[in-house]
Amino acid sequence: MMRDLIPVEELLNKASAVGQYYGFTPLSALTARARGSARPKAGYPETLAHLALDPVAETVASFLKHCQNTSCAPTLRQPLFIWHTNITPGRPTPKRVTIQFHALGTDRALADAVVIRALSALARDLFREEPVVRINSMGDKETRARYARELSSFFKKRAETLPEECITCAKQDALLAAEIAIERECAEDMPASSEHLSDASRKRFEDLLEYLEMIGTSYELARHLISRGNIWNDTCFELIAGGRRVAWGSRYNDLVRHFFPSAPFNATGAVLTVASEGTVVKPARSRKKSSARLRFSFVHIGDEAKRLSIGLAEEFRHARVSLTQNIGVESLTEQLHLAERRGSPYLLIMGRKEALENSVIVRNRKTQEQVILPLTGLTERLKSFA
């Protein structure tokens, strides 16, 4: 049976572990580094005033505001994979805890896949059952405009058979009318957004589905999963556990532009919401010690290596082999720099050759000695290095 209430220490520990293995840095750690360069705190952009934000969008907007106030933003060389929570050590836990995973600064479908994979792993741990991933694409602005016209036409043609509320609402907001029709279970013949994707959006969606299949993440195509407003774009997804939605995610490039108008970037993210209780008594600085004990930094070059690294993250986590990585960073030099900054004594290096051969190079950073190991049984072999 799915748990309705999860102790806050367990929630925080598991979110931190999942974040580490999939390469998500706590926002608190990034903002602590940038504290000296933080700009004066600002309120929400005035441009958001005319937008109706749903609860998840409000949570993401609060996250972006924090990033803006602390000058935390990705660069061309280094996308940011971040996890964040509204849990504050030493303070009472909110009745509804949120755990967020975000990938900032990359347009690749890989980012969506990693967010979905990490969130699924966390949900599986917390709720002790395999979550159902439901996914759809609303496309870019071109797609959304085309889809809205198709919906308007649909509601006009079905005016005599659909609920009056849908028909009336469709005159102002066809997407809201579509949500009502779905809720009323009268949307069987309604057009699907995936049938009207632009070429670019279709390619991005196909790439994401391919990534999910390659890393062994099951999903359901949800043709009637809809995102509305000027907040979300392209991929949207939800996680279902115990028969209810526990997480929602999407790309939100348009929302970013309100907070970073001079240098907007691509972004995808998801918010998991759960009931919790208790108080985190340990100060945040005590958790920094865990990063010092990281034994392995995973460095990968090429799509095949990155796909394998996503799948291997779970094996390392379950085997309790301390590892982290930067999946979104393409540059080998940048990955090596980040690994050196973390102080991991060992590197796991996988390029195209190693990926095809199902092997990995293990290098001792101090002595520069290295050995090639097969992926089969890798976690057990690496325990001898710890």
Q: Which two tokens stand for residue 132?
A: 């159902």
Report the C-alpha dihedral over residues 264, 102, 275, 129, rounded to 10 degrees: 150
Task: Quote the Cα angle for 102-108-112, to 5°.
Answer: 40
Q: Which two tokens stand for residue 108?
A: 């690749």
- pLDDT reported for residue 374: 96
The parts of the chain modelled with pLDDT lower than 50 are: 284-292
- pLDDT reported for residue 103: 97
- pLDDT reported for residue 3: 78
Within 10 A of 213 (CB to CB), how many other CB atoms are there? Answer: 13
The predicted model scores a pTM of: 0.91
Q: Please report the domains of the chain, with CATH numbers, ordered by start residue.
A: 6-139+198-277 (3.30.930.10), 141-194 (no CATH), 293-385 (3.40.50.800)
Q: Which two tokens stand for residue 228?
A: 């509305």
Contact call for residues 221 and 136 (beta carbons, < 8 A): yes
